[in-house]
Each structure stands twice: as C-alpha cells, then as structure tokens.
Structure 1
Amino acid sequence: MDTFEVSLNQIMDVDITKNLEFWMTNLPQKLRTTPIIYLSIPGSHDSMTYDISEKSRVAPDAEPVIQKLKFLGPFLTAIMVKWSKTQLVTPTEQLCNGIRYFDLRIATKKHDAQFYFVHGLYSSEVSKVLEEVKVFLDTHPKEVVILDCQHFYAFQQCDHERLMYLLRSTFGHKLLPYMPHMEHISLQYMTTECHYQVVAIYRSDAARFGQPLLWPSACFPTPWANTDSVSKLIAFLVDKLQNRNNLVGFISQCVLTPTPWFIFKHLLSCLKNQCLVPLEKEKYKWLKNQRPGPGGVNIVISDFVDYDDGAFSKAVIGLNRKLLDGACSNEVGSAVTPVDRSY
C-alpha cells in the first residue's frame, strides 16, 4: 500500500460526527479547504422559538385570523404555543449539537426599543441571543455560523438601521464581508487565513446599498415547499436541488408547514407530533441519497433539531464523508458568473 492509500484510509476512518460541538474544527483538511457552498451544513428552522411560552404575546407575523382572536387570551396562546414552537433548545445547545445555520424571524414591539424573535408569538430578545452566539464563537475560533435574517415584521427603515448596527457591533471583525464570488470561501479561508466566523444574510432592500458586511438573498436561495404533505415536500426538495445554482449557497427546507385548517383538524395535538414525526422516515431516506458538492445539498434545515439525540445534525454532517472519496469534484468550470446582489 503506497503513502497516498494509507493517508486516504486514515482520512476515511475519521468520524466527523463524533464531536458535534467542534465538528468544523475537526474536519480533515480536504474538507476545511472545500468551499462552504459545497459542504453539507445542518441548520434549524425558526431557530429562536425555544423561548415561546404561554406568557408570550401574539406577534405581528401571526395570521390575520389569529390577530382577530387575540381576545381569547390565554386559551388562544396555549394552542399557539403547541404550533409555533419549532425548537426546544437554546442557541448554545443547538450550536453544541452541530447546528451552524440559524433561520431568524425578527419583529419590533410597541413601546419597546428592543428587537424580538417571533413565530406567531414573541420569543427571545435579539441582542441577548446574538451575544450568546458570539460567546460560543469566541471559544470555538474555527467554527463558522450563518445567520439568516429572513423576515422582518413591524419594521421601518430606522429599525433596519438599528438592527444592522446591532449585527455589526456584536460580531465586528468576525463578519465575513460580502463577495461577488463564493467558490473560494472555505472554513480554512474564513477562520484560519482571515479570522472570519459569521456570514450574516439580510433579506431586505434596506441593506441593498452601503452594507458590505451583509449578504443578499441571491447568495443563499431558500425555496419553501409550503406543504403539509410528506410526498410533495420530498418531490419539491429533489426538484429544487436539481436546479440549484452551483456558484452560490443553497438552503433545503426539510420541514412540513401546517395550514390553519390542518391545525384546526389537529387542534389538540402539536407541531412536533403532526409535522416532525411523520416526516422522520422519509427525511432520512432522502438525506441518505444526497451528497454535497456542486449540484448537491448545502444547508439543510429542520424543526426540533435536538430530536432523537441530534440524529439530524449527525446525518447532515456525515454526508461530507462523500467528499473524501474523490468522486465529488469541487471544480465548477472556468466560467464564473458574479452573484447578483439583489434581495
């Protein structure tokens, strides 16, 4: 056996899911020098709903019918908690469980200068959560986090300015500046060569100009199936991956979305029992058939990422082993098209 074969066997013996808290740090060098848009990265959907409780107030993103039913008070809130809460664990617990992408829905609150995460109901205060993420990054210098500011509710331009300032002031030099080409951005480039640790996506026209530290939507497309059907969701995921742009990132939303009628039919149940558990078998079947690299999966997000002892993170991270067999090239051709910086 020659030296190359010995080296390859040693790489393939590495269990890249053994220590989820430091999984990026412990990746073999071949993977740390692979562009992040070609790695398989686990993320959480509606990431900051863990703090929603029966004491939470109805948020501005709630359906119009919910807004009209606010007079029902605690009875309405008790039902909403069961269908609004998509995560049960804190940002630090998610990070230690391997999650490296956060889906953020943010709103203002009347007579309150702070920002809050929302999903039908108000959840955690934004600045405290961002600081929690920063503390993790300070103690994990070779880990990278993608913060996706997806939706904004009850926002005016001045609110956007304040929130963008909060992102800049919290993470400072850790923020990776926007770049029109992404095929050179690897973990090695970010954390070792440049000491960046945060990719901050800001999906609003408010950040179109003069915000070099924020990334536009076009760099990380995130198609949404918007279905409560398992078969339709899987078909949607397959179709969208087949048509992904190899020069930018890509988010696969592996989640079922209940309609108001669906919730009414299962009023005494909850999101976890009706939209996570029925999807589990097909989710892992779909994941098993995926591979990272050009044309493959990149970021995959799920509800309840702590379910089954972090099985989701392990499955997504484990796909990166397929890049070690040499069958999946990182080259996408010589012609490179700049990313359209549109939101």
Structure 2
Amino acid sequence: MNNSVKDLAADLENWMSLIPQELRRMPIINIAIPGSHDSFTANITSNSDISPDAEEIVKELSVLGPIFKEVIARWSKTQCYLAKDQLIRGIRYFDLRTSTKEGTDDLYIVHTLYSVPIQTCLDEINSFLDLHPKEVVIMDFQHFFGFDETLHKKFIQDISTTFGSKILPYDGKINNITLDSMAQNKYQVIIIYRIDGTTFWPSACFPNPWPNTVSIPTLIQSLNDNLKKRQKDIAFISQCVLTPDAKFILEHVLSSLEEECAKKLENYRSKWIEAQVAGECGLNIIIADFIDLSDCKYVRDVINVNQSLLKALNK
C-alpha cells in the first residue's frame, strides 16, 4: 500500500466505523469485506467427536481411534479464533455449518468434527455489536445437518431472539443497503440462511461459488473467472481457500491444513487481493482459512482494497 494513503485497516476492531464517510454511503455490495471460512472451528481437537458432515470414509475409519482422530483434527480445523477474537481482528463475515448432536439439544458448529455450540458464538457476536454500534456482521448459515422443519423454525427463532432489532429485514434489495443506512436504522446483522422460505436473506442475494481445488493456479483462475461473471446488483463471495481431498491428505498425513494449504497459499492470496479493486462488480466479500497468519495480513489487505474506491472518487 502507498504510504501516502491512509491505512483503512489501522484499527481492525473498528474499521467499518472509521472508514471515510464516502465509503459508508456506498452500497455494501461494493465494499471489500474480509470473512473467515468455516468460521468457528477453533475448538476442534483430537478429542472432538466425528460430526454428521464427515465423509463416509472418515466415519468408517474413526474406529482406528485417537491417532486417526488427531490426523482428522489437523485437517478439519480452519481457524485459530472463535467469534469475539475474529471480530476484534476485523472479520465481518462468518461462514457456518450447523448440526445437531446426539445427547444434547444444543446446536453445534461442525467441520468433520464437532467444534463449539453455535449459541456461544452468537452471544459473542451480539456482545461485540452492543459495544460497536456502527460495525456490521454478516452471518452465512450455509449447511445444516440433522435439521427438520421444526428445528429450522426453532433455530430461526433463536437467531431472532439473540439479535432482535439488530437484524436487517429481507426486502430483496441488497444493492440499496449501505453502512450508513444500517447505522441510521440501528441494524447491525445480515443473516443469510440458505434454506428456501425463511424471512432471512436467501442464497440468490449472496452467490458463493466454490473453487473446490488444491491447485493454487486453478484457484486463482477460478477466482478471476467468477469475479468477471458477478452481477452488479447483488453481493458476491470469493472463496480464497484450497480444498484438499482424501488423496491429498493421505499424501501429507503428518502435516495439516494450515501448513500444506493456508501457509502455502498465503503469498499468492496477498498478491491476488492487492491486485483487486472494490466497487461495482469488484471484490466484495472474501473468505479465507487461518485469518491470523502474518498478524492478520489477509484482513488488512482486504480492507485496504477499499482504497480503490477513494481513488476513483478523487479522480
């Protein structure tokens, strides 16, 4: 970043509150927003139970015991922080897999293994928002395991009860929403619920193409191709993550997702982000694994993509 230009990421905890007013008046779909992938998996350990989203081969091999579970944990954990610590470090979009768990009425975050009860994270987010009235959080409930219609209704009610009037109502016009308009109406939460027929924001307003590759060149090409195809009147999520398959994990069984994927992608990810611009059909929401790497450089890079908007306004 040019040192003569103000660092928009100087205060990660309050970055949305502190960005210039010109940016707060822009549609939120035109602003670059850092997010985390499989957001709340920090609590996954070798003692975690196998969850319903696990592939069948994982469920079958779990009989091998603690050594196998230790390997799976290293490849299932995608983040080092839960909600509060990610929010303090500037993350404003959360990607969530939610599941039932036998023996309890609690719903859990999962990624092959069980992590933390989802309500714990919702409460952390709500407490943060109480203290940061101009910050906005987007929660994307992507996958549900063990849910029936009754449980969906209960979960939707739990979300509504937790955040109350902070939730932005769905009206089909995400392109009209700005940080300023949300603050004026005391809205701080956008809920994406990828099941049809709810009162929350649907999948169609937040396309989220999955590259599904462990190849860095293929990932970068996919990110570029998908951005070229994004529509200008809805949000867009770029998944800047590598996805190892069983073969890849077996070839690197003594390593981890962090070492073999996140760290090896990091420099390429930074270069790609720094080459992007925000604005109409530009970079919007982006998600990554291990957002903490290099003192949260990823988060800072994404927030500072918004410099492109200021430069365009000053031309």
Which residue of the partner structure matches residue 259 of structure 1?
245
Counterpart among 92, 96, 104 of residue 88 in structure 2: 96
Counterpart among 253, 272, 291 of residue 258 in structure 2: 272
For each residue in 1:119-156, what CA deviation from the matched residue of structure 2 results, as whole angstroms up to 9, or x when unmatched? Answer: 00000001111001000000000000000000011111
Give 1:155's aligned amino acid.
Answer: F
Identity between Structure 1 and Structure 2 (%): 45
2:15 is aligned with 1:27 = no
Give the TM-score normalised by the residue count of structure 1.
Answer: 0.89
What displacement does 1:15 show?
2.2
2:78 is aligned with 1:67 = no
Structure 2 Cα separation of the partners of residues 48 and 15 of structure 1: 28
What displacement does 1:326 show?
2.4
2:208 is aligned with 1:222 = yes
Structure 2 Cα separation of the partners of residues 100 and 23 of structure 1: 10
Which residue of the partner structure matches residue 231 of structure 2?
245
Q: Judging changes above 3 Å, is the alpha-carbon distance between structure 1 residues 236 and 328 closer, same or farther for their aligned structure 2 residues? A: farther
What displacement does 1:70 show?
2.0
Structure 1 Cα separation of the partners of residues 115 and 314 of structure 2: 41
Structure 2 Cα separation of the partners of residues 316 and 190 of structure 1: 21
Structure 2 Cα separation of the partners of residues 126 and 168 of structure 1: 14
Counterpart among 311, 314, 324 of residue 297 in structure 2: 311
What displacement does 1:189 show?
0.3
- 1:223/1:253 contact within 8 Å kept: yes
Which residue of the partner structure matches residue 189 of structure 2?
198
Residues 130-149 of structure 1 mapped to structure 2, 5 A cutoff: 130-149=122-141
Structure 2 Cα separation of the partners of residues 97 and 167 of structure 1: 23
What displacement does 1:328 show?
9.6
For each residue in 1:56-85, what CA deviation from the matched residue of structure 2 results, as whole angstroms up to 9, or x when unmatched? Answer: 100000011011112122122111110000
Structure 2 Cα separation of the partners of residues 174 and 235 of structure 1: 38
**Structure 2 residues without counterparts, runs of 5 or longer:** none
- 1:176/1:199 contact within 8 Å kept: yes
Structure 2 Cα separation of the partners of residues 328 and 59 of structure 1: 51
Structure 2 Cα separation of the partners of residues 174 and 240 of structure 1: 31
Q: Judging changes above 3 Å, is the alpha-carbon distance between structure 1 residues 223 and 328 closer, same or farther for their aligned structure 2 residues? A: farther
What displacement does 1:105 show?
0.4
- 1:293/1:328 contact within 8 Å kept: no
Structure 2 Cα separation of the partners of residues 174 and 261 of structure 1: 44
2:288 is aligned with 1:296 = no
Q: Size of the alignment, in residue pairs?
A: 312
CA RMSD in angstroms comes to 1.3
Give the TM-score normalised by the residue count of structure 2.
Answer: 0.97
Q: Judging changes above 3 Å, is the alpha-carbon distance between structure 1 residues 290 and 13 closer, same or farther for their aligned structure 2 residues? A: closer
Report the structure number with the largest CA radius of gyration: 1
- 1:105/1:117 contact within 8 Å kept: yes
What displacement does 1:288 show?
1.3
Structure 1 Cα separation of the partners of residues 259 and 312 of structure 2: 40
Counterpart among 118, 121, 145 of residue 126 in structure 1: 118
Which stretch of the first structure deviates more once superposed, 307-316 or 74-83? 74-83
- 1:322/1:328 contact within 8 Å kept: no
Structure 1 Cα separation of the partners of residues 85 and 118 of structure 2: 17
Structure 1 Cα separation of the partners of residues 155 and 52 of structure 2: 17
For each residue in 1:297-340, what CA deviation from the matched residue of structure 2 results, as whole angstroms up to 9, or x when unmatched? Answer: 100110000111010000000010110122599xxxxxxxxxxx
Secondary structure at the aligned position of 1:58 is classed as: coil
What displacement does 1:20 show?
0.3
Q: Judging changes above 3 Å, is the alpha-carbon distance between structure 1 residues 328 and 152 closer, same or farther for their aligned structure 2 residues? A: farther
